[in-house]
Structure 1
């Protein structure tokens, strides 16, 4: 019996071992990442023993989210295909500083979130799942009632001007600089985190960031620094690209992205033009972090709602663009359930895990495709067609060609490609299974309204002889198996 079963399994094993033609993954780089950003206090409440001064009905108070709550949801985040978790500030903050802007102690974690040991466990568990952890690192200012303000020997630690009414540190002061650099290295050594999201970069001298980047990388060579500069001035951005910061949040493109995808039937040309300008502005545009919304702006869902648009299709079109163009996708927690919200703090509402999972499934699908195809993270980009919301672009990388088609219109669309692609091949859809074969040197892509497809260019697939042979062998061997069993039964 064992021999018979082995004979049946052999063709199946041979079939499973056939190559699928995917491009072999290279060494992982941060441009291959995708970031899921969490406002810790608003994500998931798991440790109720630290729920003091909590009021879920007040948007300006703590709501109870904690480190353990994130640990409990790591599989959820990993399952959607994200590779990096971004966290709001973990520093100990003054009363009601759930957002992390009112730092009280740079060497302590916020007690509403848990202990340092729990945070270390979060980092370790994330690493075990292959997830990186990047935390917000605001060293521009401290809380309004910080103890340093009343210490005579720290009078020179502050500038006269304030930022948003908060005491601003004087980074030119050697004591301040030394303190902040040592503190930054301590966090890397102590917790093994993978990066900092640096806020208010433009408020701090270039020289400070030069030394900062050098010092933290003495502790961890591949430590990632993500700069948050809320400006639309290219000159300012260029000035801070030489300081050792790896990538920047792409505020230049954000308004065009929101405008372009918040409703259908409008030109996406402004998005294309800004993307082309980014190639000139940024030293490495592949490390640009692209986002639809974050903790500083109202939710993208609100853009759709105020125009009486269903947010689901709006998010699908926008996310497809983010995941298939050069740059690092940055997704604010709750986007996967189309969480609504206006300006701060309304954009930081409580996460709800009991809602519809349609968007979760969609993000999971496009993330899987992005993670498996280096052409989508490293390839060149060429826009082939764009008109009133229908866009088709091509990406190429080391022999692999991908074509992405996004129909952000209210009608079915047809686009014919010719000289842009090699003849006598086919476009295989990875998202919805569409198949477009070359006919007379042309590829005709047809998409329904508010749909997208991610294609790879491949050899034409005729009859799949290995598959047919393996299937036939299984059927034949199974019949032989039944005959032998029947004969044995008769003898007995």
Structure 2
């Protein structure tokens, strides 16, 4: 059984390492995305400048493209398939966040050069990692050539933002010149850097007509382009935004629900299923924090919980339910921060938690090995207190995900497993068989998770049991013989 579990975890990762990225045309639903805030990730070779001050949350901290290159193996080992970078376009002074763009066709010199970006993409592709760039269609610096033209700008109604959007100029993408400039910029980075796609910033703030035209243009340029979309205000997100052609859009409502459930022990997990139903059962971009939010780890700590324990429950949900997981940099450490600014600091790689890293690898292996966890039907199989069991099935495979967020051991009984089958746990090496009433009782400890695959009930492994018994008998005989020999030697000496 243990050999089977090890193979489940090992084989998918070996396959991911062996195949080049361009040989695999995976659907975007197969991806696991690592979100990088470039200036706050890792300093590779950025030299101190008058814009750098790690003690000032509003200044550059020195993260750069070389720093990302240096950590590609680290990212790959955690099981991620895509890296999504924050805006790297040239910004006005102080624009560490990437939203004060004054040149859409140039790499921010605080981060490196176009050659650095090209090398980053090349090295990422060698490791079968895709690269997305954040594309900002709505905002620019007050120093941008369009900033003073009222026909090319709109009123910016953001009044308070830790990442500088309140001080940016809001562009009018429906203006012909602005539209053409953005189309040209979209083409530019695809041509120059061979990136795999874009994370379109604030699709809720982008006029739907432009958004659709922009997406159609990008797809005509690169038919296999990968596109995701971020959201500033979920209330502004319209059906037209979803219909524009971006397959994965962030879900702030689900993010808030996940952060609330898993940072409070005893909160029923089935609230997340209710939220998923309310949201229209979409396969969204699932995230639990990002550069705009307070760190999830901090919320856990504030509530007196163990960060690693709570993170495991959250990751299990994100990796096994509908949608694509997006994990913000440093979550694997796991990093905290009492404010948004404090959470957005250079990643503390020397503080990483090995247990967290192992769990990332396990969840990636499960998601890779079992397509049903990515594309299968999803339903709530049962709940008991703050424990829920979710079912995923696709006609060929069936799996159950048990998440216990309760303060004590809980069990959920399910009765829809076919005769002659057993549930084999892939995280805790548990086996659940039918009881005398014909049901299957899934019981797990407090604040824990198990993922079960339905497979044929092979009964007891008598060969394995026989081997164990045989080893035990041999051990006993060896002890007896050794004791007799020692007594014999002692008698001879006396």
Q: TM-score range by the shorter chain?
A: 0.7 to 0.9
Q: Which residue of 2 aligns with 1:483?
A: none
Report the secondary structure of 1:104's partner residue: strand
Q: Is it true that 1:429 corresponds to 2:425 in the alignment?
A: yes
- Alpha-carbon deviation of 1:114? 0.9
Number of residue pairs aligned between Structure 1 and Structure 2: 443
- Alpha-carbon deviation of 1:79? 0.6
- Alpha-carbon deviation of 1:118? 0.8
- Alpha-carbon deviation of 1:52? 5.4
Distance 2:254 2:266 in 1: 19
Alpha carbons of structure 1 residues 95 and 434: separation in structure 2 relative to 1, 3 Å: same
Q: Which residue of 1 aligns with 2:411?
A: 414
Alpha carbons of structure 1 residues 58 and 160: separation in structure 2 relative to 1, 3 Å: closer
Report the secondary structure of 1:302's partner residue: helix
The 8 Å contact of residues 424 and 439 in structure 1, kept in 2 or not, is answered as: no
Distance 1:27 1:386 in 2: 38
- Alpha-carbon deviation of 1:465? 9.7
Q: Which residue of 1 aligns with 2:331?
A: 335
Match of 2:152 among 157, 170, 173: 157
TM-score, with normalisation over the residues of structure 2? 0.84
Report the secondary structure of 2:55's partner residue: coil
Report the secondary structure of 1:350's partner residue: coil
Match of 1:400 among 397, 402, 405: 397
Distance 1:112 1:161 in 2: 27
The 8 Å contact of residues 52 and 60 in structure 2, kept in 1 or not, is answered as: yes
- Alpha-carbon deviation of 1:333? 0.5
Distance 1:425 1:306 in 2: 43
Q: Which residue of 2 aligns with 1:249?
A: 250
Alpha carbons of structure 1 residues 21 and 323: separation in structure 2 relative to 1, 3 Å: closer
The 8 Å contact of residues 268 and 387 in structure 1, kept in 2 or not, is answered as: no
Match of 1:383 among 349, 355, 380: 380
Q: Which residue of 2 aligns with 1:374?
A: 371
* Cα displacement string for residues 6-29 of structure 1 (whole angstroms, at most 9, x for unaligned residues): xxxxxxxxxxx9xx999x999621
Q: Which residue of 1 aligns with 2:263?
A: 262
Match of 1:314 among 310, 329, 343: 310
Distance 1:305 1:166 in 2: 34
Q: More displaced, 170-179 or 222-231?
A: 222-231
The 8 Å contact of residues 312 and 359 in structure 2, kept in 1 or not, is answered as: yes
- The correspondence of residues 86-485 of structure 1 with structure 2, limited to 5 A, is 86-149=84-147, 154=149, 156-161=151-156, 163=158, 164-233=166-235, 236-279=237-280, 285-286=282-283, 288-355=284-351, 356-418=353-415, 420-440=416-436, 441-462=438-459
- Alpha-carbon deviation of 1:417? 1.8
- Alpha-carbon deviation of 1:342? 3.9
TM-score, with normalisation over the residues of structure 1? 0.84
- Alpha-carbon deviation of 1:269? 3.1
Q: More displaced, 90-99 or 324-333?
A: 90-99
* Cα displacement string for residues 305-345 of structure 1 (whole angstroms, at most 9, x for unaligned residues): 22122212111111111111000011110111121124432
Report the secondary structure of 2:347's partner residue: coil
